[in-house]
A and B are shown apart, each in its own frame.
Chain A
């Protein structure tokens, strides 16, 4: 999570730039604020298990990010964390099952389907590729984010652009890919 915060911090400018093209130019700043709060919380009261870490981080993101990203990322991580339970160590297949449950709850909350040009387009391929390796998951999520470029947005603020949303990479899918990249980086 600290690695994710670092990546978000480094890439905040790019996220905001992408959001400025098809959204309202705040995704980077919002994610940065949320993850800065996450790092503080994890340092001051470190949770005991991987599941507890995800639940704590999810709750912190809901409390600090705002916009649609807060509830969506918060729900993703909280649901994944709850699904991991009390285990003190987690295998990759367990993590995959947890994240799968998390992505499912994000889809329920936001109502987005694959191809709608949202974070789901990076999350779904990322989670599926976890079966192979963490590196494969990071690669698949990145490809998923790139694949949003030709899509027409159907959800969120970019949807109001209609045809004009085509040709721009989705900021939410991009930040989702960053989280998978952070996961792979830590495992390496």
Chain B
């Protein structure tokens, strides 16, 4: 396994030092693993805080900045951060109007953020939390830990981030975030397994010539394994799986997300197929984003996320944003 690293133990710290060097507009606390926008706390503004395992870059550190997150807490690779990080970040960004935690539905993230919310409240920080669970690959949620949080996290962080930037109070920002979660669905497809630095090799076995439909962002298996399909066929499968669950009556935001090892050439081609299926199914596209945003280390493959948007959500989506991973309008 060839990786551009020193040793597995320092991968996250090394990456954070590099982020600090590349982005002077961020304050990167390498020792305590907290990334904060330099102008935080922003007076009069609700703060947004997210975090999760590393290995999904640019999520979440790459989405810290005006119009999106105020702080991010990266954990070890694929491991949730610890409550100490979150409490430190929450107290650093709270401007007295409260902090919204954006949490992806994984047992570790849920437990650590729950503990952090209690501890932060002990320190006088008002905390609200929103749980992102958009992955339609997980169907029998009573027999699992429930739907996973994947691509919709970007929509939640961007749109709720814009709501906070407009000066909305905590309960309104929280309501906007919940609306985005309720309006979003995703499905992922893996063309290869990912390799974690700790293991030094693939975390699951996906034979050449096969693909995993409904894969999670840690390479967790999804619905089924099949012989390799064309981009056309994958788009049909993914969009139909989403539309089975979300029947949009309004235009949708489309995220065609690369998992880390699939080139943009392929992602754009896949994006065209996604547009074709949506057109065939009578769904109007409001905006489309194509790129690597919620990755899984070196996994090849992609995910599709749709978010049904009314005028308010679309206005907040279009609002300016200035982060390392997402930037427009300013």
Contacts and interface: CB of A to CB of B under 8 A. Distances in A.
Contacts, number: 104
Interface in B209-241: 216, 218-222
Interface in A59-78: 62-72
Contacts of B81: 66
Nearest to A152: B143
Contacts of A152: 143
Given A16-B199, A66-B79, A159-B144, A24 B107 contact: no
Contact of B82 (A64, A72, A109, A157): A64
Interface in A27-75: 28-30, 33, 62-72
Which of A24, A26, A71, A160 lies at the interface centre, i.e. has the most chain B CB atoms within 10 A of its CB? Answer: A24
A20 B199 contact: yes
A184 B140 CA distance: 40
A63 B82 contact: yes
By size class, the interface of chain B is: 35 or more
Interface string A143-187: 000000000101111011110100000000000000000000000
Interface in B48-104: 53, 75-84
A72 B107 CA distance: 10
Which of B107, B115, B203 lies at the interface centre, i.e. has the most chain A CB atoms within 10 A of its CB? Answer: B107
A110 interface: yes
B145 A159 contact: yes
Given A16-B199, A162-B140, A24 B220 contact: yes
A66 B219 contact: no
B144 A66 contact: no
A2 interface: no
Interface of B: 8, 53, 75-84, 106-108, 111-112, 115, 137-138, 140, 143-145, 148, 196, 198-199, 203-204, 216, 218-222
